[in-house]
Structure 1
Amino acid sequence: MSKRVLIIDDEQGIRETTQVCLEITGDWEVFTASSGKEGLVVAASSQPDVILLDVMMPDMDGLTTLKKIQSNPEIQHIPVVFLTAKAQPAEQRQFSQLNLAALITKPYDPFTLSDQLTEIILRRVHKT
């Protein structure tokens, strides 16, 4: 199964580390974007199987980016996973209302990330 992921994160180190982990541990084809605005363009052109989206970004944060993804018919079918350091119970309750595929907290385990994303894609396939 060919697996494609888009990483949207303003931190270059996070993008690069996550990309390398996914390419090595899961043979993913990885696309990256450094902002929500760029991520929307890349998502439409690359049509990834899943989007890893940082919550805290300047200009357009993850919540705004998620709303734009969910309102765009070209990309609204792509499952979105928040990748965030915001893991307080109140924030997790807020995120649970957003129709996310999953929430992964930073720091994450790079050796299990590929399996987590694969499971999300398979769950989505079995729902349809």
Structure 2
Amino acid sequence: MSAKILIVDDQADIRKLLRISLQLREDTELFEAADGESGWALAQELQPDLILLDVMMPGIDGYEVCRRVKSHPLLKERSKVILISGRIQPEDVQAGVLAGCDAYLPKTTGPAKLLDKVDSILAT
């Protein structure tokens, strides 16, 4: 079964790195958004299996998008959220957990660890 994954990050180079890493997965459809507002709109439209979501973005940040996904009647059970951020202090991670994320990873996470986390989250 194919997994729909939405990548939401305001930095094009980060989206590209994530896309390259995720293309190693078989049966994966990748979608991208460059900010929280368009990411939220795409999440509602696509109802992805997984959203890789940057925390710090202009407009709606990743925490808010995560809260919206986790409170949406159709998305809360379907869409898993992995927050990915350069902000990795305990209070940042705690804010992600409080927003409802399924995992919180530093942006420095390598492709192998990212794929392992994606696979484990999608398996739940």
TM over 0.5, yes or no? yes
User: Does 2:57 correspond to 1:57?
Assistant: yes
Residue 110 of structure 1 corresponds to 111
Indicate the residue corresponding to 1:38 in structure 2: 38
Q: Quote the offset at 1:54 in angstroms.
A: 0.4
CA-CA distance at 1:48 after TM superposition: 1.3
**In structure 2, what is the Cα distance between the partners aligned to 1:42 and 1:94?**
23
Q: Deviations over 1:2-44 (max 9, x none)?
A: 2221011100111111111101x21321110011111122112
Aligned length: 122
Paired residue secondary structure (1:112): helix
Q: Secondary structure at the match of 1:114?
A: helix
Partner of 2:75, secondary structure, is coil
**SS of alignment partner, residue 108 of structure 2:** coil
Which structure 2 residue ranges, 5 or more long, are not aligned? none
The structural deviation recorded for 1:105 is 0.8
Letter in 1 for 2:53: L
Instruction: List runs of 5+ in structure 1 lacking aligned partners.
Output: 124-128
Matched letter for residue 32 of structure 2: T
Contact 2:54–2:83, Cα closer than 8 Å, also in 1:
yes
1:63-122 C-alpha deviation (Å, 9 max, x unpaired): 121122223223222111101111112222332323211011111111232221111011
- Answer whether contact 2:64 2:99 (CA < 8 A) is retained: no
Report the 3-state secondary structure (helix = DSSP H, G, I; strand = E; otherwise coil) of the residue aligned with 2:73.
Answer: coil
Instruction: Provide runs of 4+ in structure 1 moved above 3 Å.
Output: none
State the identity %: 32
Q: Which residue of 2 aligns with 1:80?
A: 81
